Amino acid sequence: MRGYVHRAGADGKAERSAAYIALGTNFGGNLRLKILEDAIESIQKEIGSIDACSCLYESLPGYDVVAHQKKETHDLSLPLHLNAVLRVKTNTTDPNSLLEILQAIELKHGRDRSSTAVRLHRKLDLDLLFFQDAHANTIEIQTEKLTLPHPRLHNRNFVLFPLCDIQPDLVHPPTRKQIKDLLVENLQRREEVLKGACSSSSDGNTAPAVYTLDGNLAIPRRCFALNGHQLWTVKGGAEAAVSDTLRWIEEVLKKYEIKENNAASDTPPPAFADTLLGLRRFLLQEPRGPRLMGVLNVTPDSFSDGLKFYNNVEAAMQHAQRMIDDGADRMIDDGADVIDVGGEARNPYVQEEVSVHSEIQRVVPVIEAIRKEIGKDFVISVDTRRSPVAEAAVAAGADLVSIGVSIHPKKIQ
């Protein structure tokens, strides 16, 4: 998956924070996956771009681990949760504002927070786990409404497993331990609970031991789902998780006898074959063929489209949408893979020099609108020969500079 840059402002300072968000749902049966994917669409529109995504996990409804205290009996009839974790790059610098946005997204997608809501019946659950500033400093907060890092994440396997998918070496400040070490501790805690239950049943007591294994200690089941935007394939994740995904893909390909080129086969391949093969190529970083770039000139004097999208952000955004729409739902797009925004014409008959300020005013609002309103995970580039314009465009949401400029390496990572 393409790497995201830290957004850099005109003063060279990074402006992109990172939010680690846990997603969960156990309401809706087979609709669980759609609920999560719809929530991710909202997150991209309201918060920022997806920088990393874990695999999917299916887990038991659970209670918090509270040592030496009576636990409630689990209702095993409750539906299993579907869980994942995202790392999102955002311009939001206030975690409290981010929490409000997440709660609004929950409400939009049917979350019931009323006093009559059935406990552990969650159509959508969004938890803010970690929040890092633009310099990758993990923020610690403890207020009435928000505690960061999330106060119970270190006890929850259904959070630790997907977190390990994307960043196993992330440090949990309260314990000063890495996520992978917290997961090992939780697995050891689980083993101790099971050993205790087994020993109590072998102390001469013929009655079977009655115990509850906390749902937070249960090992979640990693599951896989095809998705045209490469979700659920460990985007930006750890090598081990990517290897597991590739192993699953190979098993499916073998089971259905799918090969890279099935043209010579008498039996037509399954409908998902192209998506699965494309996913494998993507994870292996194999060549995918030419990429299509859609050019969006926001100038008054370009050759073919001068004045069409000049000083009209809405028209420019709609044109960008049309360029990507043809293939927005497929792994290998038929539409544009990159939207290239230009604010200075290359028309040799135009003699007037465009100022840096004017070029920034042309491209920045369009890039901001495309990144916010379309909400798709695609590449935006800026066509410029000037460093200040490139830096302002990156701050607005651009990922690439399509003409070489001189920018200090610390400003773009």
Q: What is the pLDDT of residues 211-251, one digit of tens each?
A: 555 677 888 888 877 665 556 666 666 677 777 788 888 88
pLDDT recorded at residue 2: 29
- Catalytic residue chosen out of the listed positions 7, 16, 32, 111: 111
Model confidence at 296, pLDDT cuts 50, 70, 90, reads confident
- Mean pLDDT, residues 376-392 taken together: 83
Residue 111 annotated as catalytic: yes
Contacts of residues 316-324 at CB distance under 8 Å and 24 or more positions apart, as own/partner, are 316/341, 316/366, 316/369, 316/370, 317/366, 317/369, 317/370, 317/373, 317/374, 320/294, 320/296, 320/366, 320/370, 320/374, 321/374, 323/294, 323/296, 324/294, 324/374, 324/376, 324/378
Distances (CA, A) of 400 to 293, 320, 380: 12, 16, 7
Q: How many CB atoms lie within 10 A of CB 271?
A: 7
- Higher pLDDT: 69 or 253? It is 253
The residue length of the chain stands at 413
- Which range, of 51-55, 119-123, 342-346, averages the lowest pLDDT? 119-123
Model confidence at 351, pLDDT cuts 50, 70, 90, reads low
- Please tell me the distance from the alpha carbon of residue 284 to that of residue 301, in angstroms, as a whole number: 43
- Please tell me the distance from the alpha carbon of residue 18 to that of residue 88, in angstroms, as a whole number: 6
pLDDT recorded at residue 66: 38
- Catalytic residue chosen out of the listed positions 38, 127, 133, 274: 127
Measured in Å, how far apart are the chain's first and last C-alpha atoms? Answer: 15
- Catalytic residue chosen out of the listed positions 16, 122, 190, 362: 122
Q: What is the pTM of this model?
A: 0.62
CB-based burial, 364-403: b 16+ in 10 Å, e otherwise: bbbbbbbbbebebbbbbbbbbebbebbbbbbbbbbbbbbe
Residue 127 annotated as catalytic: yes
Nearest alpha-carbon partner for 250 in 282, 286, 272, 277? 277
- Which range, of 41-45, 107-111, 255-259, 309-313, averages the lowest pLDDT? 309-313
Nearest alpha-carbon partner for 316 in 381, 365, 352? 365
Share of the chain above pLDDT 90, in %: 27
What integer best gives the mean pLDDT of the chain? 76
- Catalytic residue chosen out of the listed positions 7, 32, 125, 214: 125
pLDDT recorded at residue 312: 61
pLDDT recorded at residue 173: 96
pLDDT recorded at residue 241: 74
Model confidence at 127, pLDDT cuts 50, 70, 90, reads very high
- Please tell me the distance from the alpha carbon of residue 59 to that of residue 407, in angstroms, as a whole number: 46
- The identity of residue 283, as a single letter, is L
- Higher pLDDT: 284 or 350? It is 284
pLDDT recorded at residue 7: 35
DSSP single-letter state for residue 74:
P
- What 3-state class would DSSP assign to 378? coil
Residue 122 annotated as catalytic: yes
Q: Is the pLDDT of residue 1 over 80?
A: no
Q: Is the pLDDT of residue 76 over 50?
A: yes
- Which range, of 95-104, 128-137, 242-251, averages the lowest pLDDT? 242-251
